Amino acid sequence: MKFIHCADVHLDTPLQGLAQFPGAPVNEIRSATRRAFEKVIEAALAEQIDFLVIAGDLYDVGLKSFESALFFTQQVTRLKEGDIEVYLIHGNHDAENKLTKSLRKPSNLHVFRSSEPQTFKHEKLRVALHGQSFATSEITADLAAEYPAALPSYFNIGVLHTNLSGISEHANYAPCSIETLKNKGYQYWALGHVHNREILCTDPYIVYPGNIQGRHGKEQGAKGCELVTVSDSGTISMRTIPTSVVPWTQIEVDGSGCATADEVYDKIRQQFATIVAESEERVTALRVRISGVSAAHADLNRDPELVRNEVRNLAVECGRGLLWVERVQVATLAALDRESLIQRDDPIGEVLRIASALRKNQAGLEDLDSITELRKKLPAELAQGPELDSSALSLALDEAEALLLARLSAVESL
């Protein structure tokens, strides 16, 4: 038998402020999750799978409009025509209490209830699927602990939306351990919630397929779903099916050896040309980081806004509409004796001492997260934009230090 395991579809995910960025491919990104899910459906039909498993977060922020539901029904109906069943759990983003709209389900769609674990049996294949949807968006109990034991003579699949063993950078919803999953005796665990692909165990298989389409610059690289083939003897083999429509990528541009900003731009132009050549006619969303000890450091840091727009202009020039630059970070270093400069009793020394103190006092830097609380009080149109987590604040500190040093060095020779 064959089945596809996907998760974290996040249909119609919000643009997260992308419309405010110059040249953002708003239409491509708005439709990216739908087009990525269509790739899942097309793969299911082409591979003639027996069923599809969706391990949570089908929708992004509940279901407040019938448009997303109608699109999903359309896709599930395509599978129905191919005699393919669909098994779905709801996760923290589309928990039962968030589903403010609902439509009658196609007959081939099976949704796990949220009140307790439920088992669906595919008698023809002798497959038992065990799962439980989220009742609310913040489930902190170990749902897996209550899943039933494996059914004898069945191929058992656990479907679970979970932050397994407290994986970092993800909300700790329905936490559980690998040992808990192993002890159930299932052959395959179809997990969701973590947006990066991870195979955590192969006996039994415990798998996060990741999401099918990156939603912002932190979700970089190829995204996809897992095609799982089970032989008559029970041997499992897997193949990742790529589904990204608008991949997010960060490129590193080494400014070492560049004497001027123009030389750095020439390097960026070359990298852009390579990306376009390998793009397969897909729009690529880029984060560009310029690094290295460079004689162009002062040039690049004197006017970061100009640099950002020059890089975006290169994307327009080289990209044929296939490149969009979401962020430009200038992280070059001047060829300076930093230890000597930090001792100076002038603005340059003061800037370096303040920045150094903040880096050493991580707690102090994280206190700046109070900005996030202020942001929550702003109107929605003003609150949109990049997340202000610790890494973003560290990046802002680096950029502020570089800008101040470049501005100061413009009036004083270092």
**Tens digits of residue pLDDT in 338-367:** 677 778 888 778 877 887 887 777 655 555
Is the pLDDT at 369 greater than 70? The verdict is: no
- Asked whether residue 191 carries a pLDDT value surpassing 90, the answer given is yes
62-85 pLDDT, tens digit each: 666 788 889 999 999 999 999 999
The lowest-confidence range among 161-170, 241-250, 380-389 is: 380-389
Out of 23-32, 222-231, 251-260, least confident range: 23-32
Residues 6+ apart with CB under 8 A from 16: 215, 216, 384
Residue bearing the bigger pLDDT, 95 or 271: 271
Average pLDDT of the residues in 278-295: 89
Tokens 């674990």 sit on residue = 117
Q: Rounded to whole angstroms, how far apart are CA atoms 314 and 346?
A: 38
**Confidence at residue 340, expressed as pLDDT on a 0 to 100 scale:** 75
Give the domains, in start order, of the chain with CATH numbers. Answer: 2-242 (3.60.21.10), 248-411 (no CATH)
pLDDT at 261: 94
Q: What is the pLDDT of residue 170?
A: 64
| 221: alpha, beta or left? (left if phi > 0; alpha if psi -120 to 50) | left
Q: How confident is the model at residue 384 (pLDDT cuts 50, 70, 90)?
A: very low
The pLDDT of residue 402 is 66
Helix 304-319 vs helix 261-277: angle between axes, to the nearest 10 degrees?
Answer: 40
> So what's the pLDDT on residue 213?
93
Q: What gap in Å lies between CA 281 and CA 4, rounded to an integer? A: 26
pLDDT at 236: 97
Give mean pLDDT, residues 266-293: 92
Among the ranges given (10-14, 29-33, 358-362), the one the predictor scored with the smallest mean pLDDT: 358-362
Higher local confidence (pLDDT), 343 or 46: 46
Summarised one tens digit per residue, pLDDT across range 130-167 is 999 999 888 889 999 999 999 999 999 999 999 987 66
Q: What is the pLDDT of residue 383?
A: 47
